[in-house]
């Protein structure tokens, strides 16, 4: 009725209630909106703790996120980066990207730390090195269309964009599910696999 999207309404709530430049408070305010107002398919606090733990253990200098959506996962990743690290995040939907851009900057992250790339992942991935300067990624966080997980992992492999010992963290592989991706990761012989059990967000 308002003519605005759920994502835009969530951002308006952030503007009103969140502390600018405080990533942790931005995420908390997002969570409040999603628990009490409207559901958004963000990572959420439960699975967010898994992401935070991986960041703490790995301290990756080059991170690639596939599926920016509203920027929740981006802020979560960016706040856990070690000094001098850089995050590249890819979003295929221009309207979602417009919201995410504002969320990322509201959280206090500059373009030097977080680069938002708008376009379909299958088009962006082959250009990451030449156009965006990403030689390879130490950590890849997949949270876009589940049917694209396997294709995009193989694109990253074929363009040699995975650093030695890189970690691939993929959300929602059991539900709604990415069975072909999961089967490939478990059987191709390139990866050690671990499934993290978690509740659905919110």
**pLDDT score of 200:** 84
Predicted pLDDT at 64: 98
Q: Is the pLDDT of residue 1 over 70?
A: no
Please provide residue 194's backbone torsions phi and psi, each rounded to the nearest 5 degrees. -140, 130
DSSP output for 145-179? -GGGHHHHHHHHHHTT-EEEEEEEEES-IIIII-H
Q: What is the DSSP letter of 179?
A: H
Supply the pLDDT for residue 158.
98
What's domain 6-188's superfamily in CATH?
Vaccinia Virus protein VP39 (3.40.50.150)
pLDDT in tens, 68-96: 999 999 999 999 999 999 999 999 999 99
Percent of the chain's residues with pLDDT above 90: 95
Q: Under a CB-based contact definition with an 8 Å cutoff, are residues 178 and 170 in contact? A: yes
Task: Strands of 114-201 (E only): list them.
Answer: 114-118, 137-142, 162-170
User: How many CA atoms lie less than 13 Å away from 40 in the CB half-sphere?
Assistant: 29
**Exposure string for 76-90, b = 16+ CB within 10 A, e = fewer:** bbbbbbeeebbbbbb
pLDDT band at 3 (very low <50, low <70, confident <90, very high): confident
Q: Which pTM value belongs to this model?
A: 0.96
pLDDT above 80: residue 2: no
DSSP letter at 189 equals S
Domain ranges in the chain are 6-188
Residues with catalytic annotation?
143, 146, 171-172, 201
Give the phi and the psi of residue 45 in degrees, each rounded to 5: -70, -35
Task: Provide the mean pLDDT of the chain.
Answer: 96
> What is the per-residue pLDDT across 184-199, written as a single tens digit (0 to 9) for each?
999 999 999 999 988 8
pLDDT of 45 strictly over 80: yes
CB contact at 8 A, 77 and 55: yes
175 Cα distance to chain centroid: 17
Is the pLDDT confidence value at 112 over 80?
yes
Structure tokens at 126: 């082959």
């Amino acid at each position: 009725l308002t003519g605005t999207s759920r994502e835009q309404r969530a951002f308006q709530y952030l503007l009103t209630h969140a502390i600018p430049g405080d990533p942790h408070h931005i995420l908390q305010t997002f969570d409040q909106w999603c628990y009490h107002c409207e559901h958004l398919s963000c990572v959420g606090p439960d699975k967010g703790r898994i992401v935070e733990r991986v960041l703490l253990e790995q301290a990756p200098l080059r991170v690639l996120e596939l599926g920016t959506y509203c920027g929740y996962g981006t802020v979560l990743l960016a706040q856990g980066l070690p000094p001098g690290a850089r995050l590249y995040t890819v979003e295929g939907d221009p309207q979602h990207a417009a919201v995410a851009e504002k969320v990322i900057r509201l959280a206090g992250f500059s373009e030097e730390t977080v680069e938002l790339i708008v376009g379909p992942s299958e088009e962006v991935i082959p250009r990451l090195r030449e156009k965006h300067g990403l030689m390879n990624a130490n950590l890849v966080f997949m949270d876009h269309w589940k049917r694209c997980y396997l294709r995009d992992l193989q694109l990253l492999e074929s363009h040699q964009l995975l650093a030695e010992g890189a970690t691939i963290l993929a959300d929602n592989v059991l539900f709604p599910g990415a069975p072909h991706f999961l089967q490939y990761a478990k059987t191709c012989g390139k990866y050690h696999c671990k499934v993290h059990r978690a509740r659905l967000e919110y």
